[in-house]
Amino acid sequence: MDNKKLCVCGINSCQKSAGARQKNMEEKQMKTNKLYSLPIVFALMILMLAGVAMAGTCVFDTPGASAVLAGTANAIKINATTAPILNCTVTAASTASGGSFTVGTFSNITNVTANGSFSTASGRDASDWVFTATCKNSTGATIDTCTRTGLIIDNTVPVISGCTINGAAAASGTVGSSDPTFACTIKNATTCNAYWKDSTALTYTTGTASRTDMSLSAFTASSSFGASGTAISAYLKSAEDTPKNAYIACTDGRNTTTGTTYAISTEGSTVAQKQIKTNMQTGATYYVGQRKDNGIAIMIAGGAAVIFLLVAVLLIKKK
């Protein structure tokens, strides 16, 4: 019995010893793996840091801040912070005009500089243009980006034409309505204001705008840059006793055009109604007076005729 127990105990001891050795070996292997993996982790970190360093921020040397751009010969120069660059592509966008276009792709003249010239023919007039540059290396990877804000494109001026009042060619005077519609065609404008009665502007917006004496149609700036422009209208609400000025003014952020001013009164006004009544009364008085004058003339003529006859009769009796 004792020998069997000893034997069993010996086997158990051997098994425990073997298990401990196996565990130690596994722990050593894990430590070794960790040691081997550290250089890989360091290498990845270095690559990541290198990637961050490569994502630089370039700088617009030209055009400068708030630069005014026009025509076809405008200079551009971009200095990158990461070398080497192959080229830089520049795009442009304007919120005010709703326009956008590709300025161009400009090749490097040094490892960190790209330049060239561009046209603004595709850009609508506005003062809020933003240029965005994306610079790439020879593998096509983006290594630098930058923006230039507040640029101004100035090729045209706003145009206000074809104005009508109640559908007829606009003209000063009294109109046959107490709520006339004043409409014009607008081109090359980012913002327009309507005026009626005084110098207080009511701004056209993408929705309708109104106040107690005037309301406006919707206006989308981007549509005014089309070949035919866009129609806008103002409803001149409430009757006006005396002629008041109505006009429209538009801007592209740099140039402002003020349309023709029309002095308008309405037939629904108190003064106009009084004038009509006065005219009617004057006319009635005139015709009544005329009838009275005619009667008197007839009476005088009749009396004269009677006297003439009496005189004639008397002369005949004397003979």
Residues 137-150 have pLDDT tens digits of: 999 999 999 999 99
Query: Is 109 a residue whose pLDDT tops 90?
Result: no
pLDDT at 297: 55
Span 24-39, average pLDDT: 56
Query: Which residue shows structure tokens 């101004």?
Result: 152
Query: Is 27 a residue whose pLDDT tops 50?
Result: yes
Positive or negative CA dihedral for 35, 38, 43, 44? positive
Q: Which of 203-207, 238-242, 271-275, 300-304 has the highest mean pLDDT?
A: 203-207
> Domains, the chain, ranges and CATH?
56-153 (2.60.40.10), 159-266 (2.60.40.10)
Strands 113-118 and 209-211: unpaired
The amino acid present at 41, given as its one-letter code, is V
pLDDT at 274: 44
Encoded tokens for 105:
């792709």
Query: Which residue shows structure tokens 């004269």?
Result: 304
Q: What is the mean pLDDT of the chain?
A: 80
Q: Which of 60, 91, 90 is nearest to 78 (CA)?
A: 60
The amino acid present at 194, given as its one-letter code, is A
Backbone angles phi, psi at 184, to 5 degrees: -145, 165
Question: Among 107-111, 203-207, 243-247, which stretch is predicted with the lowest mean pLDDT?
Answer: 107-111
Q: What is the DSSP letter of 176?
A: S
C-alpha to C-alpha distances, 296 to 69, 279, 284, 285, nearest whole angstrom: 84, 26, 18, 16
Span 17-36, average pLDDT: 58
Contacts of 267 (CB under 8 A, 6+ apart): 174, 175, 176, 177, 178, 273, 276
Q: Check residues 257 and 29 and name the one with the higher pLDDT.
A: 257
Does the pTM surpass 0.75? The reply is no
User: Where residue 31 falls among pLDDT bands split at 50, 70, 90?
Assistant: low
CA-CA distance, 32 to 106, in Å (whole number)? 52
CA-CA distance, 178 to 268, in Å (whole number)? 5
pLDDT at 177: 80
C-alpha to C-alpha distances, 304 to 292, 300, 318, nearest whole angstrom: 18, 6, 21
Query: Is 290 a residue whose pLDDT tops 50?
Result: no
Q: Cα 265 vs. chain centroid, distance in angstroms?
A: 32
CB atoms under 10 Å from CB of 233, counted, come to: 18
Which tens digit of pLDDT belongs to each residue from 90-102?
Answer: 999 999 999 999 9
Q: Check residues 10 and 249 and name the one with the higher pLDDT.
A: 249
Query: Is 21 a residue whose pLDDT tops 80?
Result: no
Span 89-116, average pLDDT: 95
The counts of H helices and E strands in the chain are 2, 21
Q: What share of the chain is helix, strand, coil (3-state, %, to 5)?
A: 35, 35, 30
